[in-house]
Amino acid sequence: MIYLDNAATSFPKPDTVVRAMSNFLERAGGNPGRSGHRLSIEAGRIVYDAREAVAELFRARDPLRVIFTLNATHALNLALRGVVRSGDRVVTTSMEHNAVMRPLRALERAGVRVIVAPCTRDGSLDLDAMYRAVEPGTRLVVVNHASNVVGTILPIAEIARLAHAAGALILVDAAQTAGVLPIDLAAMEIDLLAFTGHKGLYGPPGTGGLVFGENVDAAIIEPLWRGGTGSRSESEEQPDDLPDKFESGTPNGVGIAGLGAGARFVLERGVDAIRAHEVELTRMLIEGLQNISGVVVHGTRDAEKCTAVVSFTVEDRQVSEIGLWLDEEFGVLCRVGLHCAPAAHRTLGTFPRGTVRFAPGIFTTQDDIRVALDAVRRIVRG
């Protein structure tokens, strides 16, 4: 089996992640922050260690400003619903995932004005168009760091400067870049960073988070839900302290243990080393696919300008047919279709048929890429 679907969920997971989750259940299965006994204290320590690992990875100075969520979608909804009010103006791009577009469309029906800045056919952002879109008085700018369809990387620092000049906050969807690209909240001037645990951080599904930049006043953001936090139990009002304000209910301790181990795995490997490996594989894929007659590679076709996500189509062939043949005949696992990003596919010109998406990861080898390319070649020749 050759697994090329890491943009959906990374596989396999590092041994340290599996061990951390097993150890949590076997040795520290208490409810973190809810009791004073040894199992609860140990569970709380593991959760805090995970906060520290995530904070270190994103250069966030205060681990308490790392809010754990179910995934990036949950984090994005927390930020969007918590920051934006009826009458506000929000700017986004035409390459966004439905994790952004669906909440925005719901907010639009509630009186929020949503402006979509256009991207080009390769997924790159038109900065002039973004400049025109981010008018003074804009409340929030929300953008992906890299496309989940073609991997195109957006210039976050430049977008942040435009947002701040207009008095807006910037929310970055890092679902595809956390653990894959260097992220420095302060240097990139990111106000809110949404991430998921099960992709480039090599953690389990059901984990993710929202990181608050130092200049964001958490008091202006409303929680998605309220309830028990293990703190200030004498009050029936939600506490204002971070992270408790946004983490009501028993946390996914075992998942967070795995997420923390995944973040440590990335820190030990080094983001730069992971990036170099993925650039090499991405370059092989792009060049190899372009050399197959009838195959069209979408995006920038430049491994330095995208994450390890390569989408392609084949003339007169359905993407679902190609994906089925790759799996059943060649053991190559990938994703086909619209990838929950119809806006991106409209921008790329691949709507409604979608694309075949290859997404290698840290455990993918050059031999794996060669086998996948040979499989595509044989399918196309038919």
Active site residue 340: yes
**In the block, residue with structure tokens 């907010």:** 107
- Taking the alpha carbons of 15, 19, 22, 24 in that order, is the dihedral positive or negative? negative
CA neighbours closer than 13 Å in the CB half-sphere of residue 329: 14
* Alpha carbon 160 to its chain's center: 18
Among residues 213, 176, 222, 229, which one has the least CA distance to residue 341? 176
Confirm if 169 and 157 have CB atoms less than 8 A apart.
Answer: no
Omega of the bond leading into 136 within 30 degrees of 0 (cis): no
Nearest 10 degrees: Cα torsion 200, 202, 204, 208: -40
CA–CA gap between residue 90 and residue 112 (Å, rounded)? 7
Give the integer Cα–Cα distance in Å for 90 and 297. Answer: 32
In this structure, is the dihedral angle defined by the CA atoms of residues 93, 98, 104 and 108, taken in order, positive or negative? positive
Residues in a beta bridge with 356: 312, 336
Catalytic residue among 119, 306, 334, 340: 340
Reported in sequence order, the residue ranges of the chain that DSSP labels E, i.e. its strands, are 2-3, 66-69, 89-93, 113-117, 140-144, 169-173, 192-196, 208-212, 295-298, 310-314, 332-333, 335-337, 355-358
Residues belonging to the active site: 340
